[in-house]
Amino acid sequence: MLEPPLSSWVLVLLCKLIGVRVVAGVDTTAVTLAYISYELVKHPELFKTLQEELAKYTDVDSFKSTELEQLPMLNAVIKETLRMWPPVAPFARLVPLQGTTLGGYHIPGNVHSLNSLIAGTYRP
Ligand code: HEM
């Protein structure tokens, strides 16, 4: 089989890198915003409280991100939505060679473990 020229490999690599970043940054945020909207429609009383908290911010120049970090309702809505609907629900890790203990269970080293965020953020 013919090897593609180096420039083709560079192009493929760049596409992969950009693709991963787009999915990591855009998809997660879009899914989270969709679930925030869903939960707020289901809980109009919380929506109203959030609206009141945000009422003084009229456009993007009217707030600093450090200020938004201090808003209790906004942060509660974001954190609770991420807990209930984590957009990256399963994630994989390679266990270190010496193995580890998770929830009282021994996991042998050098194996791939697939972890569920939902299992950790809901009561069994
Ligand atoms: C609600 C929004 C987001 C959530 C829930 C989220 C979740 C995650 C999680 C769970 C990981 C770890 C994955 C793993 O190691 O198995 C991760 C990694 C990463 N995320 Fe996000 N993410 C979000 C937004 C973003 C945004 C906006 C960006 C970029 C602008 C971004 C870029 C990345 C990158 C580059 C990594 C890999 C970091 C590394 O391994 O060194 N994420 N994200």
Please give the residue range of the domain that contains residue 117: 89-124
Q: What is the average pLDDT score of the chain?
A: 88
Residue 77: Cβ-neighbour burial (10 angstroms; 0-12, 13-18, 19+): buried
Centre of ligand 1 from the C-alpha of residue 68, in Å: 21
Does 121 sit in the ligand 1 pocket, CB within 6 Å?
A: no
Looking at the predicted structure, is the pLDDT value of residue 2 above 60? no
Which residues make beta-bridge pairs with 6? none
* 47 and 82 assigned to the same domain: yes
Same domain, 83 and 52: yes
Nearest Cα to 83, choosing from 124, 33, 121, 38?
A: 121
**79 and 93 co-located in one domain:** no
Tens digits of residue pLDDT in 77-123: 999 999 999 998 888 999 999 999 988 999 999 999 998 888 888 88
Per the structure, the count of domains in the chain is: 2
Q: Whose CA is nearest to atom 16 of ligand 1?
A: 91
- Retrieve residue 18's tokens: 């950009």
Same domain, 52 and 102: no
Quick one: 68 and 116 in the same domain? Answer: no
CA of 24 to the centre of ligand 1 (A): 5
CA 106/CA 74 separation, integer angstroms: 39
User: Based on the domain organization, do 48 and 69 belong to the same domain?
Assistant: yes
